[in-house]
Chains A and B, each alone.
Chain A
Amino acid sequence: MAAEKLALAKAINESLRRALETDPKVLIMGEDVGKLGGVFRVTDGLQKDFGEQRVIDTPLAESGIVGTAIGLALRGYRPVVEIQFDGFVFPAYDQIVTQLAKMHARSLGKVKLPVVVRIPYGGGIGAVEHHSESPEALFAHVAGLKVVSPSNSFDAYWMMQQAIQSDDPVIFFEPKRRYWDKGEVNTEAIPGPLHKAQVVREGTDLTLVAYGPMVKLCREVADAAAEEGRNLEILDLRSVSPLDFDSIQASVEKTRRLIVVHEAPVFFGSGAEIAARITERCFYHLEAPVLRVGGYHAPYPPARLEEEYLPGLDRVLDAVDRALAY
């Protein structure tokens, strides 16, 4: 069947399955990815069907997971590794930043490292400490890495295919609070380029830019704003690095107002980069300063407080009011 409704996690699962089927060099690695199918069941059933040589339960050692994936990639494999939760990627951060990101350049292009690092990220699931973070800016800042985050099942399926086919290392941020959201996936579609943003709602008054978990929130914001007679455009970035500034620019030239929404702390976040560049590109088009809505410069709070910390409908609507008031 070409098109069906799949939960986002299931879409990734199907995508991984397809990759394992089509390319014998693709490997899945991570903690609990085998029998259990991962703590979010994203790799459910894959070890059963492809065996322990292809779907590998690893020791609990994140640096080891990424470091050995690098070695496997040097040997011609295409590892897709799972980091169990966002907050646990840091033991592997050294390998990702100093090795994975740089080996292609250091070898003057002789070595390619087609490694995908999957990271379930973001909050909103009532988890304990270190299970709800959004460290995408820390990776986007590093040359040599590509950073993407799908917001829906179709993209989750196809962006994973494209990430695995990429000869560059890709950090694949999965919006864990959207894992159970269902969406249409056409497995025979021809997807757009991996790093191209997408207008998911046309509008005229203001552009909301988001990716991953915040795209759905932005749709709700746009619906609420519509009731107040405001016509918002929504751009799903899909890729944080590279960032599709051309699409943002085109939208801002139309709407003349821009708000960036992400879960990560606003300070030094991807919104700061977008605001700076769009101000440069669109200075004479803008009717209002680029505004950002996101997390605070504070440790991710305990679950009972996360609704205060995370951007919600009202905070984004307030920003919309502020932007339109200029």
Chain B
Amino acid sequence: MTVESTAARTPRRSASTKSTAGKRTTAKKQPGTEPELVQLLTPEGKRVKDATYDKYVAGITPEELRGLYRDMVLTRRFDAEATSLQRQGELGLWASLLGQEAAQIGSGRATREDDYVFPTYREHGVAWCRGVDPSNLLGMFRGVNNGGWDPNTNNFQLYTIVIGSQTLHATGYAMGIAKDGADSAVIAYFGDGASSQGDVAESFTFSAVYNAPVVFFCQNNQWAISEPTEKQTRVPLYQRAQGFGFPGVRVDGNDVLACLAVTKWALERARNGEGPTLVEAYTYRMGAHTTSDDPTKYRADEERVAWEAKDPILRLRRYLEASNHTDDGFFAELEAESEALGKRVREAVRAMPDPDHFAIFEHAYADGHALVDEERAQFAAYQASFAEEEGV
């Protein structure tokens, strides 16, 4: 295992180094340095060996590697398109995943079709891996719905705005899987900020106590809006798991191979009845928190620049090129595919109709509700009064 000195900010932690993740985890960390992380690809795109995790990507083919690259590029392209659509006034808000592509594609591609994903609001790359049409993700940001896809079509739950809530839903769902005697698993996404929420702690407790097949995938992108991770925790996040009785592991979140391998390992543990795992993907949010945010108010430009050197896409590209896994044709085709995706998304957003007025009342209840019926009728009469005025 290699150690990458990742933090651009001065590391202030001198946390205990013991973890429960087996022989792999006896960290050789020095006080004042970042604890080690699992890495299979260096920022320069060099493949490095890892005794524990190599086997989870051992059989990976050049085609699959190109697939991961394609996923990351297209996801980034989609994200950039959504950001511009917001700037053009087509979306009310956008939460960009820029910089987190490896964490999301690596973990997302580790899931099996029958696994179930509980995202927060930035998991566009995971949604991509699950086969959710990217334009479906935009409905809530455009303001035409509060969800917009059927969670059961791709086993990808709706985005969750309330920080941390979904970790409990994931745990409950996983408890259900265990009850059913099924061998699928659940993965719950959340941020470093969310790790401070009581719900996340409660989900750790429940999943440990019931040995639920759930993987907690924390994308530590270093910031919760303007608050650095130091404002959430005094110990590295992955070490939290130990106190709950399950393993925690920190993976280089900008290394798609490592994210794939570690998540596969964690999902396999879940399937084998070994219970929950916490994966902390150590990564970086290169853009603003959302399009409403202004990161210049709280973080130094040098920090972003330092992280750009660890760009997840560039890293895999270097590796692919060095291994002769691609040619210029591949990149050109992908470029064209990216543009086509951008265009398709743009058109889809612009074509999105405003919801029917009566959608306000739709689905408030499954079995109906007298008050909703009454108010719908009042609303209908009110709407009709305009038609009368206009002489329609």
A-side interface residues toward B, CB under 8 Å? 53, 58-59, 61, 63-64, 66-77, 91, 94-95, 98-99, 102-112, 143-144, 146, 166-168, 195, 241-245
Contacts and interface: CB of A to CB of B under 8 A. Distances in A.
B180 to A, nearest CB: 7
B149 to A, nearest CB: 8
Contacts of B367: 166-168
B242 interface: no
Contacts of A67: 165, 167-169, 171-172, 199, 202-203
B173 interface: yes
Contacts of B173: 71-72, 74-75
B356 to A, nearest CB: 12
Interface in B353-371: 362-367, 369-371
A66 B162 CA distance: 15
A242 B369 contact: yes
A91 B152 contact: no
Contacts of A109: 362-363, 366
Nearest to B165: A99
10 contacts: A61-B205, A71-B170, A71-B173, A99-B160, A105-B146, A106-B145, A106-B146, A108-B147, A168-B367, A243-B371
Q: Which 5 A-B pairs have the closest CB atoms?
A: A71-B172, A67-B168, A75-B176, A68-B172, A64-B202
Given A75-B173, A106-B158, A242 B202 contact: no
A146 B172 contact: no
Interface string B132-165: 0000000000000111101110000110101001
B205 A59 contact: yes
Interface in B174-205: 174-177, 179-180, 198-199, 202-203, 205
B165 A110 contact: no
Of A63, A67, A99, A243, most buried by chain B (CB within 10 Å of CB) is A67
B175 A72 contact: yes
Contact of B206 (A59, A104, A112, A243): A59
B147 A106 contact: yes
Given A64-B202, A72-B173, A195-B370, A107 B165 contact: no
A168 B365 CA distance: 6
B209 interface: yes
B363 A77 contact: no
Interface of B: 145-148, 150-152, 157-158, 160, 162, 165, 167-177, 179-180, 198-199, 202-203, 205-206, 209, 362-367, 369-372
A94 B366 CA distance: 21
Contacts of B152: 110-111
A107 B158 CA distance: 7
Contacts of B371: 241-243
Given A61-B202, A95-B168, A105 B363 contact: yes
A95 to B, nearest CB: 7
A146 B205 contact: no
Contacts of A73: 172
Nearest to B159: A106
Contacts of A102: 146
Contacts of A243: 370-371
Nearest to A67: B168
Contacts of B177: 75
B172 A107 contact: no
B226 to A, nearest CB: 23
Nearest to A60: B205
Given A64-B203, A67-B169, A68-B206, A167 B366 contact: yes
B206 to A, nearest CB: 5
Nearest to B372: A143
B198 A63 contact: yes
Contacts of A166: 366-367
A107 B362 CA distance: 11
Contacts of A106: 145-147, 158
Contact of A58 (B148, B206, B366): B206
A205 to B, nearest CB: 28
Contact of B165 (A58, A98, A144, A168): A98
Nearest to B366: A167
A166 B176 CA distance: 20
Nearest to A24: B179
Contacts of B146: 102, 105-106
A95 B163 CA distance: 11
Given A77-B179, A104-B363, A99 B202 contact: no
Contacts of A64: 168, 171, 199, 202-203, 205-206
A72 B370 CA distance: 28
A71 B366 contact: no
Nearest to A114: B366
Nearest to B118: A71
Contacts of A108: 145, 147-148, 150, 362-363
A243 B209 CA distance: 40
B224 to A, nearest CB: 18
A106 to B, nearest CB: 4
A72 B186 CA distance: 12
Of A66, A102, A166, most buried by chain B (CB within 10 Å of CB) is A102
Contact of A70 (B169, B364, B372): B169
A95 B172 CA distance: 13
A20 to B, nearest CB: 14
Contacts of B366: 104, 109, 112, 166-168
Nearest to B162: A98
A72 B169 CA distance: 8
Given A53-B179, A168-B365, 9 more contacts: A64-B168, A67-B202, A68-B172, A91-B198, A105-B362, A108-B150, A112-B366, A241-B371, A243-B370
Contacts of A245: 370
B165 A104 contact: no
B171 A68 contact: yes
A67 B165 CA distance: 7
Contacts of B202: 59, 61, 63-64, 67
Nearest to A113: B366
Contacts of A107: 147, 150-151, 158, 363
A237 B160 CA distance: 36
